[in-house]
Amino acid sequence: MDLTGIITAILSALFMGTVGVFAKITGLEAEVITFFRLGLGAGFMLLFLLATGQGQRLFNRPSWPILLNGTILAGFIIFYVQAMEYTTMANAIMLVYLAPLAASIYAHFFLGERLTRTSAALIGLALLGFAMMMEFHIDLAGGSRHLRGIGLGLVSMICYAAFILINRVIDVSIHVYTRTFYQLLTGAVVMLPLCLWKRPELPPQVWPWLAGIGLIPGFLAILCAVIALSRLPAATFGTLAYFEPIAVICFGWALFHESLSWLQISGCFLILASGVLKTLSIVAVASVQDQTPT
């Protein structure tokens, strides 16, 4: 059992769910949120490496999949935030969270990470719970503007699925800290021209919130995701990733007084149950393997 992988996957989902809170509080545009999330995230990663005496990892040459994944990470964030500007948040997040399922299916056929019947059933259970959270409703009205939002959501979903899969195939000899730093840095460099083009006004009172964006959904969330993806199969990470929409709903209820229906609450519990059962199945398999004579 890789308990570290499971814990970091759950933490990653919870930390990533905070980006909507920061975006709502600051009211900043998608390009600005994305740049500071990745740029300050890379800065926090740099400080972490220097403080722990691991600065030498910065001199490890990043491979092209790491640089590609940094670009994809920026795309995932920016397209998701933009999708919410053209369609409903429910539609956008529903499309994005088809990514773990898509990644699991791809890994099943092309990466040799075979889905067991139990894994497939739990993924289906998580999707059912997610549909319940959306109250089984996707609004397809709204004309060309809405269709543009759907398209952006699909692009974001593809980017997120690619982020999961590429992290699974990065050379294991490259330390997760090196991967995290260069993915964050690459994403920030990609977003810099767009951020400068917008020329946002950033009063002093917004900077503590920007630091929070870089620290929590930036540095901590991406670091935990990279660690988890280096230890867990795509199907397991994909199932545990559904803790993020639950976190988003809980933050909305606790901080912004957004109400939940009983159907949505039931969906939350169903997703939590699928994640717990997935974890327990890993524990059970690991226990049997440990007890098997070699």
Specify the range with the lowest mean pLDDT, choosing from 29-38, 85-94, 115-124, 193-202: 85-94
* Residue of 285, 270, 283 whose CA lies nearest to 239: 270
Query: Mean pLDDT in the chain?
Result: 84
Helix axes 3-16, 221-231, angle to 10 degrees: 150
The predicted pLDDT at position 186 comes to: 96
What pTM value is reported for the model? Answer: 0.79
pLDDT tens string 59-83: 888 889 999 999 999 999 899 888 8
- Report the pLDDT value the prediction gives residue 268, as an integer from 0 to 100: 78
pLDDT of residue 37: 92
Cβ 33 vs Cβ 23: under 8 Å: yes
Is the pLDDT higher at 187 or at 149? 187
Q: Which pLDDT tens digit goes with each residue over 5-34?
A: 989 999 999 998 888 788 888 888 888 989
Phi, psi of 29 (to 5 degrees): -75, 165
Q: 120 is written with which tokens?
A: 């497939």
Q: If pLDDT is split at 50, 70 and 90, which confidence band does 287 have?
A: low
pLDDT tens-digit series, residues 94-148: 778 778 778 888 888 888 878 888 888 888 888 888 788 777 876 665 567 777 8
Distance CA 76, CA 57 (A): 26
What are the backbone dihedrals phi and psi of residue 27, each rounded to the nearest 5 degrees, phi first? 70, 15
Q: How far, in Å, CA of 161 to CA of 52, rounded?
A: 32
- Tell whether the model's pLDDT for residue 239 goes beyond 80: no
pLDDT category of residue 184 using cuts at 50, 70 and 90: very high
> In the chain, what percentage of residues exceed pLDDT 90?
29
Torsion of CA 16, 172, 162, 131, to 10 degrees: -50
- Higher-confidence residue of 196 and 159: namely 159
Q: What residue type is 184 in one-letter code?
A: L
What is the per-residue pLDDT for 283? 61
Q: Which residue has the tokens 């994909």?
A: 238
